[in-house]
Structure 1
Amino acid sequence: MELQASAALIIIDQQKGILHPRLGRRNNPHAEENMLELLALWRRTGRPVIHVQHLSRSADSVFWPEQSGVDFQPRFMPQDGEWLIQKAVPDAFCATRLEGRLREAGIGQVVIVGVATNNSVESTARTAGNLGFDAWVAEDACFTFDKADYFGTPRTAEEVHAMSLGNLHGEYATVVDCARILAAG
């Protein structure tokens, strides 16, 4: 595994709303620490950092623009020179300029972290892979929540996370842990 000097770190939906208790039980309690380690590496090495912010169309969403949940958590506040992509659907490529900006900058590799694994992370990674980007998903820098499956069977956040990563690995993205990315950095 080779981490390119131009690899972009895409941090998805690290907004205040994702910490709301009404979202339920989550997995991977150290995900944010891992995201911050990767962010520190990217900033230290001058690689591109892309912050994705969800602006929900639904007033009952934790990411509704009319309340503080839409704001970035202070520890994930974009710095000067870092990109901001605002989206209204889970996929960070859909109806945004993300693909065009990556191509204009000559970026062919992306490392994706954030929330929720089975939602915005998975949909963004699928599109990245389908568009031909070398997409990596840092499995221990993502998390999700308990969720019932289609048939109503309750699934733990760990199960939802694992299935989502299984959907991605090998077909749309390479799923790795942060230690491997940091070692490649």
Structure 2
Amino acid sequence: MRLILENTALIVIDVQQAFDEMERAGAKRNNPEAPARIADLLAAFRAARAPVIHIRHANTDPGSRFHPQATGYAVREDAREHPGEPVLVKHVNSAFIGTDLDTRLKGMGLSTLVIVGATTNHCVETTTRMAGNLGYDAILVADATWTFDRAGPDGRLHAAEDIHAMSLANLDGEFCRVFQARDVIEALARSGDAL
């Protein structure tokens, strides 16, 4: 498989201030450098003039940090869209549900999706699974996504790093291919070479 600029888009999922608010409130996360890697990928895609599509989560619950009237709904400054980059708003985990993402991608002739954002085991994983099922060549960037510690139904606490690693293990080879940001950036620089 080759990474071809004309067929490839960067999908940036839910890089919103709500996650920073959660961390400030004491939630523990992994991949603290993920926003910086996302910024690196944004710069690389923009330099290559490859499409970038931003996804925002809008929760309908007025008490949610992701409610459009809440401060957490806002995008992080380092992931803010540039003019001409579409922003699609979703209300569920998958960026394909309730949006025109699939129609938009097909209309642009895009078949390879480089997926980044938050959180690994929720909206990123759900969107990646659907991308694979819809026939896209999905590339999940491991160091450009993150998650938080989470308790299971038995009350046992699972570390963010373990949850992240399990999501990657579940997805890789079945729904997507997993790479690091530097791999994607290098492939963009030599578009057409094997990734």
Name the TM-score, length of structure 2 as normaliser. 0.92
Deviation at 1:23, TM superposition (A): 6.5
Amino acid at match of 1:51: H
Counterpart contact for 1:23–1:145, Cα < 8 Å: no
Distance 2:154 2:162 in 1: 15
**RMSD of aligned Cα (Å):** 1.1
Structure 1 residue matching 2:2: 3-state secondary structure = coil
Number of corresponding residues: 185
Q: What is the aligned counterpart of 1:112 among 112, 115, 131?
A: 115
Distance 1:71 1:58 in 2: 16
Distance 1:119 1:135 in 2: 16
**Correspondence 1:2 to 2:2:** yes
Q: 1:63 to 1:23 in 2, by over 3 A?
A: farther
Amino acid at match of 2:160: A
Counterpart contact for 1:146–1:155, Cα < 8 Å: yes
Amino acid at match of 2:5: A
**Paired position in structure 2 for 1:11:** 12
Q: What is the aligned counterpart of 1:70 among 68, 73, 81?
A: 73
Distance 1:25 1:166 in 2: 21
Amino acid at match of 2:17: K
Deviation string 1:61-84 (CA, Å, 9 cap, x unpaired) is: 211111221111122111111111
1:20-59 equivalences under 5 Å are 20=21, 21-22=24-25, 24-59=27-62
Distance 1:54 1:61 in 2: 11
Counterpart contact for 2:64–2:70, Cα < 8 Å: no
The unaligned stretches of length 5 or more in structure 1 are none
Structure 1 residue matching 2:130: 3-state secondary structure = helix
Name the TM-score, length of structure 1 as normaliser. 0.96
Counterpart contact for 1:48–1:82, Cα < 8 Å: yes
**Ranges of 4+ aligned residues in structure 1 off by more than 4 Å:** none
Structure 2 residue matching 1:167: 3-state secondary structure = helix
Deviation string 1:21-80 (CA, Å, 9 cap, x unpaired) is: 236000001001101110000000000001100000122221111122111112211111
Q: What is the aligned counterpart of 1:94 among 97, 101, 104?
A: 97
Structure 2 residue matching 1:96: 3-state secondary structure = coil
Distance 1:109 1:15 in 2: 24
Percent identity reads: 40
Counterpart contact for 1:31–1:142, Cα < 8 Å: yes
